[in-house]
Amino acid sequence: MATATNRVLRVALRGDSILTHPRFNKGTGFTSSERRAFGLAGRLPHRINTLEDQCIRAYDQLCGRQQPIRKNTFLQSLKDQNWVLYYALLSRHLKELIPIIYTPTQGDAIANYSHLFRRSEGLYLTFADQDTMEEDFLEQTKGRDIQLFVVSDSEAILGIGDQGVGGIGIATAKSAIYTLLGGIDPSKSMSVVLDVGTDNESLLSDELYVGWSNRRVRGKAYDRFVDKFVQLVRKHHPHSLLHFEDFGVNNAQRLLDIYRDKHAVFNDDVQGTGAVTLAALMSAVGVTKSKLSEQRIVVYGAGTAGLGITKQLRDGMSSIDALSTEEANKRFYLIDRFGLVKESLGSNKIRPALREFVRPNAEWADVPTNAEGEIGLLDVIRKVRPTVLIGCSTHAGAFTEEVIKEMARGTERPIIFPLSNPTRLVEVTPEQANAWTNGKALMATGSPFPPCKMPNGKLYEIAECNNALIYPGLGFGAMITQARKLSDTMIIAGAQKLASLSPALTDPDSALLPDFAHAREVNTEVAVAVAEQAIEEGEAGVDWDKEEVRDRIAERQWIAEYPDYVFDPRGEH
């Protein structure tokens, strides 16, 4: 497909085959010589449109649909027809349309996948068909230069839980964002769902459910199934990046730990969320003129994202402020369903991965508990006087007025990041937090929110602290250098680059992160930083100097423009 350096493509398809192939189709954009060469003259109306004309028409059609979910369905069908037009349209209306193809609207599309189903997209690997997994895998990948696999087992989709086979919709959305914001050629990525069943009762009882209608497979059988898939990726595409998305809390970090030294793997909810939050916090401590290592941080919701954020911030304190890991661990107070994560909860309530962050009982002897011996958010805030409060719990409204006011009592500029998606699950709206702190709160959210009015009348833009602001760049930087792994230091390099682009750096009343309207340029800068770091630490599989990285990236970024086609029976198909 077209890249900045490849504007002519040799294509082997003709007639209906090229018109119905989303990768090659140009619709009314085929030139007259292409129409003749590819047998299209009688198949298209006379007028030849530019891509710009087509975008205007498609946008008009889109605007005729009022509900976000109808717009999502329209855009999905456009993607099924014509990739260049789909990405060209999105890139012309980036801020308006990302929430339609990604969180929050894609969450609704996924939840209704079986009812909205029109056409399949991606690779469906089902537990019941595991004996033919390699055959099914090769059917779609053989002979193709796949550089990126985005895989989900659908257990923890966005904030809406187990969605069974519908989780293919998060893999395809994340892949689309890779193309849109990272510049990854869509023909070189593959979206995969591992259908291991579902524990979602409404899907199990739905006659129209299109996935494998069985309870979720767990334990060794699950591990073997996932491993079979990972080994196929390693065998057939050894230089690809394998991106894990929305796995459940008991598998996300665990699978990352199993495979991180064997292949270039990346868990977005752990590492991508950690990296974007690190960048937002670096930006916030720039405003408060303090250091990362001086923060006292409460993380509400100690699941996949909560632990990923905690570890990334901890590692940031160590590498940026040279704090020891042990000391840095003490800066964190994790809270989950059982209240503060402290020793007395016992191992049945604290999963092993949280061990480093368990607070000692003695420290909390003077704090009231409930009948079960649990300590709630408000009491933690009263005692710790945190400077930072992060929400990744899916507990809508958890940051009450009392909680937010207590934060503001303990610190001059409370840093408050309610990161849960989709929008309706946010722990506190920016408008509320702004009002309850008299405009003192420094905020970032997981989904987009409108700006807030500060007491001085200025508008405060709310940074969207969503992993999509960084993962396409992290991934592209690793892929392009054929990095053997995506190391922690490569991720920190990406986060530091993102923080350096923050508007708050020059104006403390501005947003803590760059606006999503600039997400493509931002991710390109992140990709450059990650690729340079890969080269510097000897993880790159390419023999490049750091100085040439920017040019190599510009050459390889896919752009949504039509290349010129030449018919060639041995060409692409």
Ligand X SMILES: NC(=O)C1=CN([C@@H]2O[C@H](COP(=O)(O)OP(=O)(O)OC[C@H]3O[C@@H](n4cnc5c(N)ncnc54)[C@H](O)[C@@H]3O)[C@@H](O)[C@H]2O)C=CC1
Q: Which residue lies nearest ligand PYR, judged by its C-beta?
A: 421
Q: 174, 311, 342, 497: which one is catalytic?
A: 174
Residues in the chain: 573
Instruction: Give the residue from 286, 88, 129, 110 showing the smallest Cα distance to 203.
Output: 110
Choice from 293, 411, 421, 496 touching ligand PYR (CB under 6 A): 421
- How near is the Cβ of 391 to ligand X at its closest, in Å? 8
| Residue 306 interacts with ligand X (CB under 6 A): yes or no | yes
Q: Is 245 annotated as a binding residue?
A: yes
CA-based radius of gyration for the chain: 24
| Residue 466 interacts with ligand PYR (CB under 6 A): yes or no | yes
The tokens of 275 are what? 């990296």
Q: Measured from the CB atom, is 407 or 462 closer to ligand PYR? A: 462
The Cα 513–Cα 476 span in angstroms is 20
Number of residues that bind ligand X (CB under 6 A): 28
Choice from 34, 108, 162, 246 touching ligand PYR (CB under 6 A): 246
- How near is the Cβ of 309 to ligand X at its closest, in Å? 9
Distance (Å) of CA 295 to CA 199, 230, 407, 457: 39, 39, 13, 29
Choice from 62, 97, 158, 297 touching ligand PYR (CB under 6 A): 158
- The number of C-alpha atoms within 13 Å of 355 and in the hemisphere containing its C-beta is 4
Number of residues that bind Mg ion (CB under 5 A): 2
Q: Measured from the CB atom, is 137 or 300 closer to ligand PYR? A: 300
Range 319-338, binding ligand X (CB under 6 A):
335-337
- Residue 485 · residue 239 · CB < 8 Å: no
Residue 320 Cα to chain centre, angstroms:
24
> In 3-state terms, what secondary structure has residue 566?
strand
| Residue 467 interacts with ligand PYR (CB under 6 A): yes or no | yes
DSSP state of 270: I
Instruction: Give the residue from 503, 510, 506, 502 showing the smallest Cα distance to 454.
Output: 510
The Cα 352–Cα 360 span in angstroms is 16
| Positive or negative torsion for Cα 494, 496, 497, 503 | positive
- The number of C-alpha atoms within 13 Å of 83 and in the hemisphere containing its C-beta is 24
Q: Is 268 annotated as a binding residue?
A: no
Of these partners, Mg ion, ligand X, ligand PYR, none, which one is at the site of residue 303 (CB under 5 to 8 Å by kind)?
A: ligand X
| Residue 155 interacts with Mg ion (CB under 5 A): yes or no | no
| Residue 279 interacts with ligand X (CB under 6 A): yes or no | no
Known catalytic residue at 453: no
DSSP state of 216: P
Range 362-421, binding ligand X (CB under 6 A):
392-395, 419-421
The Cα 264–Cα 267 span in angstroms is 10
Of these partners, ligand X, Mg ion, ligand PYR, none, which one is at the site of residue 494 (CB under 5 to 8 Å by kind)?
A: none
Q: Is 200 annotated as a binding residue?
A: no
Q: Is 438 annotated as a binding residue?
A: no
Q: Measured from the CB atom, is 419 or 527 closer to ligand X? A: 419
Known catalytic residue at 458: no
> In 3-state terms, what secondary structure has residue 213?
coil
- How near is the Cβ of 158 to Mg ion at its closest, in Å? 6
H helix or E strand, kind and range, residue 136: helix 133-141
| Residue 108 interacts with Mg ion (CB under 5 A): yes or no | no
List residues near ligand PYR by CB under 6 A.
103, 158, 246, 268-269, 421, 466-467
Q: Which residues are annotated as a binding site for a divalent metal cation?
A: 245-246, 269
Q: Which residues are annotated as a binding site?
A: 245-246, 269, 421, 466
